[in-house]
């Protein structure tokens, strides 16, 4: 069974297939360590799935926001309001300049977020495939040991010679223990590598968001200050004018319905 990422982003029903229990065959401490480690691996994989889902959603949100801004400007132009109001025309032009400046930043942010978070998580998951192959080898060898033990038990019940079967079982158990030890070592290594890999990715992700929102805040703040200064509207007058417009909008039947 493949893991979360190979089955698709966000499918919480999928889980990493855990190694088969080998109670009474392998040392209890090793069994317990492997079981606990696999629970942690499962949690980490689930977390990575959520990260991939959020990265995808965030990229789409940035794109949708940009498209919504452009549509708003298009609707303002089609409304004809700018034709009867020089102030509206000037504000629309200034707003357009800000939105167009943000377009490149929006596209860059969507791309960079995928590069610094989405792609590394997917690439890291490729390391899980050899680990899962080792887990399958271990489970297959466990079946061999169990069959040998079953055969030995049947021979004992019948009072027949068991020497050859005991040798076969002991050999199979040694192979199982060797594979199980290798799986435990590789699983620990796989799990421990995740944080060092993701740490710089998360830092780059946060820096990208800071850059995006910092640019947006700077551009829109400058737009508001320039617009108010150009029109020489005081804060109190501006708020009163906007309040009047909002009251008129709310009184429209289309808003009421």
Per-residue pLDDT, 232 = 57
Q: For residue 26, list its beta bridge partners.
A: 23
Query: What is the band of 7 on the pLDDT scale with cuts at 50, 70, 90?
Result: very low
Those residues whose C-beta lies under 8 Å from the C-beta of residue 179, and which sit 6 or more positions away, are 134, 137, 138, 141
Range list of H helices, the chain: 4-7, 28-79, 81-84, 86-113, 119-125, 128-158, 163-231, 235-251, 253-256
Average pLDDT over residues 141-161: 92
Q: Is the CATH code 1.20.1270.60 the one for domain 26-213?
A: yes
Average pLDDT over residues 97-118: 90
Average pLDDT over residues 47-74: 89
Among 176, 228, 128, which Cα is nearest to 30's? Answer: 176
**Cα torsion through 136, 139, 141, 144, rounded to 10:** -130
Q: Check whether 105 has a pLDDT greater than 70.
A: yes
Q: Which two tokens stand for residue 224?
A: 């508001």
Average pLDDT over residues 64-83: 85
Could you please report the per-residue DSSP string of 202-244? HHHHHHHHHHHHHHHHHHHHHHHHHHHHHHT--HHHHHHHHHH
Against a cut of 0.85, is the pTM above it? no
Rounded to the nearest integer, the mean pLDDT of the chain is 83
Per-residue pLDDT, 15 = 55
For residue range 164-183, list pLDDT tens digits in order: 999 999 999 999 999 999 99
Average pLDDT over residues 132-147: 95
Domain limits of the chain? 26-213
If one compares 19 and 249, the residue with the highest pLDDT of the two is: 19
- Map tokens 């590069």 to a residue: 115
161: alpha, beta or left? (left if phi > 0; alpha if psi -120 to 50)? beta
Per-residue pLDDT, 230 = 53
Q: Check whether 138 has a pLDDT greater than 50.
A: yes
Per-residue pLDDT, 149 = 92
232: alpha, beta or left? (left if phi > 0; alpha if psi -120 to 50)? left
Per-residue pLDDT, 228 = 53
Residue 233: φ, ψ to 5°: -105, 125
């Amino acid at each position: 069974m493949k893991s979360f990422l190979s089955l698709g982003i966000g499918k919480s029903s999928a889980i990493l297939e855990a190694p088969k229990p080998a109670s009474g065959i392998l040392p209890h401490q090793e069994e317990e360590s492997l079981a606990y480690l696999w629970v942690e691996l499962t949690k980490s994989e689930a977390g990575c799935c959520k990260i991939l889902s959020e990265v995808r959603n965030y990229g789409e949100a940035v794109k949708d926001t940009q498209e919504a801004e452009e549509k708003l400007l298009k609707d303002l132009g089609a409304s004809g309001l700018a034709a009867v109001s020089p102030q509206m025309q000037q504000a629309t032009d200034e707003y357009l300049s800000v939105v167009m400046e943000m377009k490149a930043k929006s596209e860059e942010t969507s791309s960079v977020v995928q590069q610094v978070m989405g792609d590394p998580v997917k690439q890291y998951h490729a390391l899980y495939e050899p680990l899962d192959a080792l887990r399958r080898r271990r489970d297959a060898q466990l079946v061999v040991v169990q069959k040998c033990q079953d055969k030995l038990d049947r021979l004992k019940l019948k009072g027949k010679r068991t020497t050859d079967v005991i040798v076969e079982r002991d050999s199979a158990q040694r192979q199982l223990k060797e594979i199980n030890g290798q799986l435990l070592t590789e699983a620990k290594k796989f799990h421990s590598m995740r944080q060092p890999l993701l740490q710089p990715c998360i830092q780059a992700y946060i820096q990208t968001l800071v850059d995006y929102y910092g640019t947006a805040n700077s551009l829109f703040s400058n737009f508001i200050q320039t617009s108010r200064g150009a029109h020489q509207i005081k804060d109190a007058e501006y708020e009163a004018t906007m309040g009047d417009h909002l009251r008129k909008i709310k009184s429209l039947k289309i808003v009421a319905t």
